[in-house]
Amino acid sequence: MHSPSRPQSFLRSFLATEAAGGIILMAVAALALIVANSPLGEAYFHALHLTIGPLGLLHWINDGLMALFFLLVGLEIKREVLDGQLANWPRRALPGIAALGGMVVPAAIFVAVNWGHADTLKGWAIPSATDIAFALGVLALLGPRVPASLKVFLTALAIIDDLGAVVIIALFYTAKLDIWMLNAALALLVVLAIMNRRGVTFLPAYLALGAVLWVLTFLSGVHATLAGVALAFTIPLRPSDSSEHTPLHRLEHGLHPWVTYLVVPIFGFANAGVALGGMTLANLADPVTLGVTSGLFLGKQVGVFLFAALAIRLKWAQLPEHAGWGQVYGVALLCGIGFTMSLFIGGLAYADAAPLLDETKLGVLMGSLLSAGLGALVLGTVRRREENAEAR
């Protein structure tokens, strides 16, 4: 049952935009690899390290531009929890439990592969993330073969996954703290929360203070992108409102195309490029590459599917409507597409270790491609078998 403030058309629009963005992201990732391994490769890597003001270009993209991505992630999480697919326990159960498995098992596999390598273990969270746009892009290519309920399930799971990634970044990938700046950021966050409680709905005021919050968060040592999530949680949304034009809805609608079609592709192009010259098949067995590849491809499918199956068998949740076990397994495979958030966490884990970052990129690309290919094959095959059975 959809809330009057969130008609079904909103969800259809969201899924369509994410799917289109995922297809663009695939093309951008391929382009980054081509450029990085072409005569333009040297210029590509040099440009990323150009200094603009206090930061290099890559840092402006990853710390500044991606704050908009995290702002959108925060808005989506808040909307879904208060007024959407995660608004009550029955709706949260299946994607929530599946997301937990999809975070725990890949991390465990990465740790197992990298055990005894103290310098690489800090990348344990890299394969724990699912790229919602990339995964929905693959589903879009399958067309009507996939029931809408599976798309909603995947979207809800990926949103919970994003929340888990945000918590991991805040707890485990924070640099040395400047307590004064952190306290100033927290004080400003309290001001924003009070504005919400007092019924202030003037979006420019929130965004202006949000920019200040980003600066204070950056100076505090906490990763600056988390300011985007914190700001999102203060943007007003009243679930009881009959209007879909609340400040949160308006900001999300306005921000979504920019993030999907500009911010994430720029991030993907800047972070997916890895020079493959000199690499051999033996490099696929490097601890980070192997840990990320196996974590995404094996860990995600095992964690998501087994935890979902457990929840359904224990009657804590139900299969998505009009979907079978084979299709749920296909979606579990697609959860191994970890592109955007995995590359982001990899950049935090190995910021000062370029070779390990290259291993991360290679692992993310391999794990994501294997997951996308087999996931699409399974979903397409399962659907055809069902259609043949019905025809008989």
216-268 pLDDT tens trace: 998 988 888 889 989 999 999 875 554 567 889 889 889 988 988 899 899 88
What does the pLDDT look like over 185-206, one tens digit per residue? 999 999 999 999 998 989 999 9
Q: Which pLDDT value is given to residue 333?
A: 95
> Residue 185: CB partners within 8 Å, gap ≥ 6?
213, 216, 217, 220, 222, 227
Sign of the Cα torsion 303, 304, 307, 309 reads negative
**CA atoms of 127 and 164, how far apart (whole Å):** 12
> Cα torsion for 174, 175, 181, 184, to the nearest 10°?
0
CA distances from 185 to 16, 32, 55 (A): 36, 36, 21
The residue type at 283: N
Q: Which pLDDT value is given to residue 165?
A: 84
What are the φ/ψ torsions at residue 55 (nearest 5 degrees)? -130, 160
In three-state secondary structure terms, 55 is strand
Q: Which pLDDT value is given to residue 12?
A: 57
What are the φ/ψ torsions at residue 51 (nearest 5 degrees)? -90, 125
Q: Which pLDDT value is given to residue 384?
A: 57
Q: What is the DSSP letter of 6?
A: S
Q: What is the 3-state secondary structure (H, E, C) of 206-229?
A: HHHHHHHHHHHHHHHCCCCCHHHH
pTM value is 0.79
Residues 198-233 as b or e (16 or more Cβ within 10 Å = b):
eeeeebeebeebbeebbebbbebebbbbbbbbbbbb
Q: Which of 213, 238, 216 is nearest to 228 (CA)?
A: 213
Low-confidence ranges of the chain (pLDDT < 50): 1-9, 242, 388-392
> Residue 322: CB partners within 8 Å, gap ≥ 6?
147, 149
Q: What is the DSSP letter of 298?
A: I
> Residue 3: CB partners within 8 Å, gap ≥ 6?
83, 84, 87, 239
Q: Which pLDDT value is given to residue 334?
A: 93
Residue pair 140/22 in contact by the 8 Å Cβ criterion:
yes
